[in-house]
Structure 1
């Protein structure tokens, strides 16, 4: 309990919010790396995922790539890319590492959103004369958007947590107090940095949860609000049948 109190005391100490390594600057670095990596990954993964979901081709390759990318150890990849890029290009090496980490979730969210659409909806759109491009932009993308936002949510949470390791190569971020605290054996500093990372992840998760809910089309949201999961039209009245008790031969 004393360690937790010391961690909060360190967090709210005025000296932690001033100077070049002030916590707000480290937070800005953490968010900057996260936003840049996720944006670049989205430019690569989302069009590719949409193409896979729209055409139905290449899914096996995408699944294999996603599995391989998830299996790569982030810290080892970061150190490797720093050595490959050179010590003068550490920010670029870190960004590539985080982009590789973000791509699987975005790719899966993009094509899974299309695969989750009822094929009868697509067939109906084609039957009324929509072209392939119209089906893509007016049917598949709007209906697949909730799962795509879920992919963004997963990617952002993975990246924002992993950006912490950027401090190992002197790139700042909220990992800096954690690394510094470990080297100085000041565990209240380590805990304080970990609390900040956890709070940031929780806030981002809540924001993307709201965005995911807002991305659900209004009609589908109304259907989901019904107790049975769909809205039902009033049941037609049963046809009147002659009362056998009042009929005479």
Structure 2
């Protein structure tokens, strides 16, 4: 109970929110690392997953290789990178470690979404004369969109939570509030930092859910292909 009271006192003290060591500054650093890592991860994982899912070859191998990276602790990767020349380049080791952590859920969900797209709709779209790239962009991608966003949501929450490790080698982010609390034996500050990280993770997850609902595509090509597939199924049933 004392820890909760101490955390409340720390969070409601205005001085803890201002300055270069304050919450707002650390929150900005945390968001910067999160957004950069997610952007790089999406740029790496999504094109590979969408292409392999479209052609139906090599995807299982790519997914297995990416998932193997989950067995390596992110902190261990961060420590190793800090001991290399990359350790002299600010947030680069942290970004690389977090990207390696974020790629697997993005790659796996996007590939599975592409492979689990309604094949009747895909075949109907082919029958309408769509090229391979039209099929990918106008049919398969919209059908895979929910699973792609699920992967993005998972990766975003994981990165927000794991970015706290950046503080251990002296990086920025909300983790600095937690480590500072440990260094000064201020349990209330440690709890306050954990609450801030958890709150940010929930906020980011909610934003991704809202974005999914607002951006969910259902273009005319998909609707037309679905109608054609339904007509073909009815014709087969009559036969």
Please tell me the root mean square deviation across aligned C-alpha atoms, in Å.
1.6
Instruction: Note the alpha carbon deviations across 1:151-195, whole angstroms, 9 max, x for none.
Output: 111111111100001001111210011111112211001000000
Larger relative contact order, structure 1 or 2 (CA cutoff 8 Å, min sep 6)? 2
* Unaligned residue ranges in structure 1 (runs of 5+): 220-249
In structure 2, the partner of 1:50 is 50
Instruction: Note the alpha carbon deviations across 1:87-125, whole angstroms, 9 max, x for none.
Output: 421411111011111101111122112122111111000
TM-score normalised according to structure 1 size: 0.84
TM-score normalised according to structure 2 size: 0.88
In structure 2, the partner of 1:108 is 108
Query: Would you identify which runs of 4 or more consecutive aligned residues in structure 1 move more than 6 Å?
Result: none
In structure 1, the partner of 2:175 is 175
The whole-number CA distance in structure 2 between the counterparts of 1:56 and 1:182 is 50
Asked if 1:16 corresponds to 2:24, the answer is no
Give the secondary structure class of the aligned counterpart of 1:169.
Answer: coil
Instruction: Note the alpha carbon deviations across 1:185-213, whole angstroms, 9 max, x for none.
Output: 11001000000000000111111122233
**Which protein is bigger by CA-based radius of gyration?**
1
CA contact (8 A) 1:143 1:216 kept: no
In structure 2, the partner of 1:29 is 29
The whole-number CA distance in structure 2 between the counterparts of 1:44 and 1:51 is 12
In structure 1, the partner of 2:68 is 68
The whole-number CA distance in structure 2 between the counterparts of 1:130 and 1:87 is 49
Give the secondary structure class of the aligned counterpart of 1:155.
Answer: helix
* Unaligned residue ranges in structure 2 (runs of 5+): 220-239
Task: Judging by fraction of residues, say which structure has more helix.
Answer: 2
In structure 1, the partner of 2:130 is 130
CA contact (8 A) 1:149 1:215 kept: no
